[in-house]
């Protein structure tokens, strides 16, 4: 049974994702600015973190099909708890930059193994006709935890408890979320999610190591899947770039940490709503049309509007509204999570891994773009580059979806 398109058998899993990602998002609205204020390289920290996210995101789907979703998510939770404990207890307490980089990278390895692996579970448990809606619900929970509740709570906790204590609470949120998703969730995880036929198929192909390697070769065997992964990277490129430079840019227009957290949280509150809306829209009018028009072309325009908003009208509410429009149009990419697995009859977990790699690559490429382009082009040049990349994504989406729903 389903409620508003939410699979009830996975309900505890969805709630667990919400709580877990609150822990992931606690520091995101203030860490970049805080690290820079300590005289350290914030861009390098986020770039290394992004590399770790990219690696883990790519491997999450095929590892899940190799060892099982619960085991993969458990590994992700344990790595997250260790990484954040060391980040808070050693790195931030002593302001030891090498430790900060290493432990933040460990967090980057951890959270995709937990959160993105759940996408594989959804892909196997939800029918094709409702897969876009289910993907929308996943991003409702993920975005709601990381970018709304996590952002608002993180700004509050930093002010009330201090930086180190706020970071320690991330471990508590992750632990509660993991308990919900792994032990209270009733949906079965037997035979690598696909039932007896999926298990038999895996056994026919030899060892689990061979299956893992085979899953990674999908980018060679299925070029459209690779292109879909690139579109997924383009989706959140501005997200990760904005995390690095937007708080610093808006500071010159009088937007402090609290105001920035409000803008960010409001943008992704709207994003939550439209994650579900665009999931339904994609199921109705076509996944490719939704991603290409609302996602790619919409973001090409909205990143520029968000950047120029304080120049157009330096009023808090106007900047917030422009940020919300950007958040809404980011949600236009939700159906790519249904489109790309539909390109293959089998190896859907491997296809999801390519999507996850795209999501992870955005965490790396976004900060890297800021680091490489800030000096020669400035923040304005970075934003125009992002807008152009979104237009390239529109062309790619048209190509990979022209024979698909």
Which structure tokens are listed for 175? 């632990």
Q: pLDDT of 49-83, one tens digit each? A: 988 988 887 777 778 777 888 889 999 999 999 99
> Does any domain span residue 196?
no
Q: 237-251 vs 316-330: helix axis angle to the nearest 10?
A: 170
Q: What domain count does the chain have?
A: 1
- CA gap 334, 250 in Å, rounded: 28
Give backbone dihedrals phi and psi of 6, rounded to 5 degrees, phi first.
-90, 120
For residue 6, what are the β-bridge partners? 3
- CA gap 333, 229 in Å, rounded: 12
> Does any domain span residue 46?
yes
> Does any domain span residue 336?
yes
| Chain position carrying tokens 């933040």 | 104
CA 182 to chain centre: 20
> Does any domain span residue 148?
yes
- CA gap 48, 309 in Å, rounded: 30
- CA gap 377, 36 in Å, rounded: 20
- CA gap 137, 277 in Å, rounded: 10
Give backbone dihedrals phi and psi of 12, rounded to 5 degrees, phi first.
-65, -30
- CA gap 321, 161 in Å, rounded: 30
- Domain harbouring 336, CATH code: 1.20.1250.20
What is the span of the domain harbouring residue 269? 7-189+203-401
> Does any domain span residue 253?
yes
Q: pTM for this one?
A: 0.78
pLDDT in tens, the chain (405 residues): 455 556 666 778 889 999 999 999 999 889 988 998 898 988 899 889 988 988 887 777 778 777 888 889 999 999 999 999 999 999 999 999 999 999 999 999 998 899 988 887 887 776 666 676 777 788 788 888 988 899 889 989 998 999 999 999 999 999 999 999 888 776 555 444 444 444 444 444 445 555 556 556 777 778 888 898 899 999 999 999 998 899 889 988 989 888 998 999 899 899 888 887 888 888 888 888 899 999 999 999 999 999 999 999 999 999 999 999 999 999 999 888 888 878 777 767 677 778 878 888 888 899 899 989 999 999 999 999 999 999 999 999 988 887 544
Choose among 173, 133, 128: nearest CA to 150.
Answer: 173
- CA gap 308, 326 in Å, rounded: 12
> Does any domain span residue 2?
no
> Does any domain span residue 70?
yes
> Does any domain span residue 198?
no
């Amino acid at each position: 049974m389903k409620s508003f398109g939410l699979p009830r058998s996975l309900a505890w899993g969805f709630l667990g994702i919400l709580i877990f990602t609150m822990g992931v998002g606690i520091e995101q609205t203030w860490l970049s600015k805080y690290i820079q204020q300590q005289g350290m390289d914030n861009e390098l920290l986020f770039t290394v973190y992004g590399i770790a996210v990219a690696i883990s995101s790519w491997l999450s789907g095929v590892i899940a099909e190799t060892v099982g979703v619960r085991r993969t998510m458990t590994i992700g939770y344990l790595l997250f708890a260790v990484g954040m404990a060391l980040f808070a207890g050693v790195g931030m307490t002593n302001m030891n930059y090498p430790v900060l980089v290493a432990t933040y990278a460990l967090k980057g390895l951890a959270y995709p193994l937990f959160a993105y692996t759940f996408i594989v579970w959804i892909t196997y448990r939800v029918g094709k006709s409702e897969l876009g809606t289910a993907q929308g619900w996943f991003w409702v929970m993920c975005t709601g935890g990381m970018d709304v509740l996590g952002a608002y709570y993180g700004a509050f906790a930093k002010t009330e408890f201090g930086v180190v204590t706020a970071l320690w609470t991330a471990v508590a949120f992750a632990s509660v979320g993991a308990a919900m998703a792994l032990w209270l969730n009733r949906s079965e995880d037997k035979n690598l999610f696909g039932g007896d036929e999926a298990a038999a198929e895996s056994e026919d192909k030899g060892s689990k190591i061979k299956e893992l390697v085979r899953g990674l070769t999908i980018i060679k065997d299925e070029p459209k899947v690779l292109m879909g992964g690139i579109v997924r990277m383009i989706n959140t490129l501005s997200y990760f770039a904005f995390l690095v430079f937007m708080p610093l840019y808006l500071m010159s227009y009088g937007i402090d940490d609290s105001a920035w957290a409000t803008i960010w949280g409001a943008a992704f509150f709207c994003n939550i709503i439209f994650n579900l809306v665009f999931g339904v829209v994609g199921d109705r009018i076509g996944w490719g049309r939704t991603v290409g028009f609302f996602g790619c072309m919409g973001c090409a325009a909205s990143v520029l509007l968000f950047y120029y908003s304080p120049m157009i009208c330096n009023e808090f509410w106007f900047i917030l509204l422009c940020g919300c429009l950007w958040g809404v149009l980011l949600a236009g990419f939700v159906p790519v999570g249904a489109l790309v697995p539909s390109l293959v009859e089998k190896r859907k977990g491997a296809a999801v891994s390519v999507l996850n790699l795209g999501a992870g690559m955005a965490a790396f490429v976004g900060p890297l773009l800021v680091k490489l382009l800030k000096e020669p082009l400035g923040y304005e040049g970075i934003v125009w580059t992002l807008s152009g990349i979104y237009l390239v994504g529109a062309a790619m989406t048209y190509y990979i979806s022209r024979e698909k729903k």
